[in-house]
Structure 1
């Protein structure tokens, strides 16, 4: 006999992309119960990221359709698998796209936040448990937050501190934390920093630079509407290369007595900016961190070896932040008002109006973060 408390499939609404570049369709989907190590979450908030666009337009590594997008979000656990520990029904949680077992060699290392047991899953791992019109729906990474309910491996879930609004916690599940973490574990007080691209990721890098005591923080963007928010987050010098027609590296060197900066954080993913980002740093000791997701499938990076000149070039996933060991420290800074995440939210939509947010608001110059409220 089946126990009446046993979770059953839930019929709900989700935004489904059936074919590449088509508008999202909000329609009924069926979300199965979690397996033994998963949790099923009733979504409260999800936010939009430019990485979602690369999964919508097919420029990511492995485009699969039909798919539910979304990899940033918060919600309340509705049901848990029998092997899940440390989480219970009713917990408000953040949904992440990497895990941390705390036991593997990678988790024990200070060099990476990519767990060997619960890795970054670039494409759906086959456990989505979401169906529509008789077929399984793929997810983005191992998440699908643009749905009223999502099923996620429990190790990719972190409890939300009750002192923090879920709408703000949502913003820590990718973009802002990626930029913040990219600087957090590298920068030394008194250093000079240049951040190229002042969206949520770039502003995260700016804020970390400010908190860590950077002497100069250059914010570079071709959108003058980013100027005021950038300064509010900590930019000391805003530069728009369109106004001068000069290369980014030349502008930065002119502002640093020809030396360049100690660190350059590249957040646009535009291939043509790579050499400029490297050349903006100090010869021999400068470090460039690549964070931005390329807007094109074939990036065609053309690194000029002479520009590298014993400088350091690095990449990162989620800013090197470990979701269980490190993320609570950033949450605490938000609770203490050192970081004002709410300032990043420029637009809010319902799930029914998701196309307005995804296809309209995200293209507006004033847009930083679009949040979906369920």
Structure 2
């Protein structure tokens, strides 16, 4: 069959919407009709060339929701008509990481950048060329074939345009505060960047009982929304946020700082490092250019103050656990998702969606399919 998809032909480059050939699902794979896909910054990193993908052309998108239309041989947990959210890490269940409850670190995560399916082959093609798929799922496409393990079934009463967000941005931000930073009741946390990921770090910190949730973002409307989503304070840059944290902790500093800016640099992490107390944690959630190295922190302070810089992917949670949890919290009214969707776009306007993201106009843009 043929499907319309947003294709990246070169990097740096722009998404071009056109038709690609799509094979039928093979063993342990399913055919999904996508209904919505979040415009996550990770896919923009591919387009900008900050992070290289191994296979071009490449159909992006990893934060999606849709309906299973057909299943291949051996599929046992899904059937046609099931509504699903995609997981860009199709956990194998057997590697060291899956066996220890760290599905987010499954060895299959390497497929996010190689573009192949689990068996090393491809399901999308154009003009005789194989087309890479983002995270095995490629949610920037009307239809996609993906592993059964890439699909997490959800209830029928959750709107697709909010359900797609729990495929990446929501649990990534939530877990950055709750799991990676280890926030507990009474803590003080600084969250640097309150877009589609950081806004959920705010929500997670509020939910577990942080006394002060200090949001930092240069965009006024993001600071305003952060206050509605659970932040107690909001600033345009980190310096006054750090001063506030020290003023309410007898000069010690924040218990943790979560960095969720668009493109992280060593300087962002150094500023966050300076803002935390002894024994505190800096969580590096935002992605940066793959060629950039170095964090300008004082090495003696790192040792003697016992501070920690912690990387985090998917909020240090497992998709098969986090996705149902986020949906449940949403249905109970403990997690705001509708407020995250600033604007929806047809697939043809995907580049406009990313331009709006860079202009600071969106918390999360969402592509919707008719």
Same fold (TM over 0.5): yes
**Contact 1:247/1:276 (CA < 8 Å) preserved in 2?**
no
Output one character per residue of 1:290-326: Cα deviation in whole Å (capped at 9) or x when no partner.
1001156424433431332211221111111212233
Corresponding residue to 1:312 among 288, 308, 311: 308
SS of residue in 2 equivalent to 1:151: strand
Alignment of 1:22-41 (within 5 A): 22-41=13-32
Check the 8 A contact 2:259/2:282 in 1, yes or no: yes
Helix, strand or coil: the match of 1:79? strand
Q: In the TM superposition, what whole-angstrom CA distance separates every residue of 1:334-361 from its partner, at most 9, and x where no partner exists? A: 1112112010111111112222212x22
Q: Which runs of 5+ in 1 are unaligned?
A: 1-9
What displacement does 1:282 show?
A: 1.0
SS of equivalent to 1:214: coil
Partners of 2:44 and 2:291 lie apart in 1 by: 12
Q: CA deviation at 1:191?
A: 1.2
Q: Secondary structure at the match of 1:325?
A: helix
Structure 2 counterpart of 1:366: 361
Q: Which one has a larger percent helix, Structure 1 or Structure 2? A: 2
Q: 1:250 to 1:115 in 2, by over 3 A?
A: closer
Match of 1:46 in 2: 37
Deviates more, 1:15-24 or 1:251-260: 251-260
The superposition leaves residues 76-132 of structure 1 with CA deviations (integer Å, 9 ceiling, x where unpaired) of 11211111111011111111111334455433425x333546445341134331011
What is aligned with 2:287? 293
Cα deviation, residue 330, structure 1: 1.8
Residue 7 of structure 1 is matched in structure 2 by none
1:114 equivalent in structure 2: 104
Query: Are 2:264 and 1:274 aligned?
Result: no
Match status 1:59 vs 2:50 = yes
Aligned: 1:167 with 2:174: no
Contact 1:45 / 1:74 at 8 angstroms: preserved in 2? yes
Aligned equivalents of 1:306 and 1:251: distance in 2? 25
- SS for the counterpart of 1:324 is helix
1:187-210 Cα shifts (integer Å, max 9, x gaps) = 211111111111111111110111
Partner of 1:3: none
Q: Is the CA contact (8 Å cut-off) linking 1:198 and 1:221 kept in structure 2?
A: yes
Please give the root-mean-square deviation of Cα atoms over the aligned residues, in Å: 2.0
Using the alignment, how far apart are the partners of 2:82 and 2:222 within structure 1? 36
Aligned position for 2:225 = 229
**C-alpha displacement at 1:62, in angstroms?**
3.9
CA contact (8 A) 1:275 1:307 kept: no
- For residues 116 and 339 of structure 1, do their structure 2 counterparts lie closer, same or farther at Cα, with a shift above 3 Å needed? closer
Q: Distance in 1 between matches of 2:342 and 2:257?
A: 26
Aligned counterpart for 1:257 among listed residues 235, 245, 250: 250
Map of 1:128-277 to 2, 5 A cutoff? 128-185=122-179, 186-241=182-237, 246=239, 249-250=242-243, 252-268=245-261, 269-277=264-272
Cα 1:325–1:23 shift into 2, 3 Å: closer
Contact 1:99 1:115 in 2 (8 A): no
* 1:357 has 2:353 as partner: yes
Task: Output the TM-score relative to the length of structure 2.
Answer: 0.91
Paired with 1:208 and 1:127, the residues of 2 have a C-alpha distance of 38
2:87 to 87, 92, 96: 96
Contact 1:321 1:327 in 2 (8 A): no
* In 1: Cα distance, 2:52 partner to 2:348 partner: 29
Instruction: From the superposition, tell whether residues 113 and 304 of structure 1 become closer, same or farther in structure 2 (CA, over 3 Å).
Output: farther
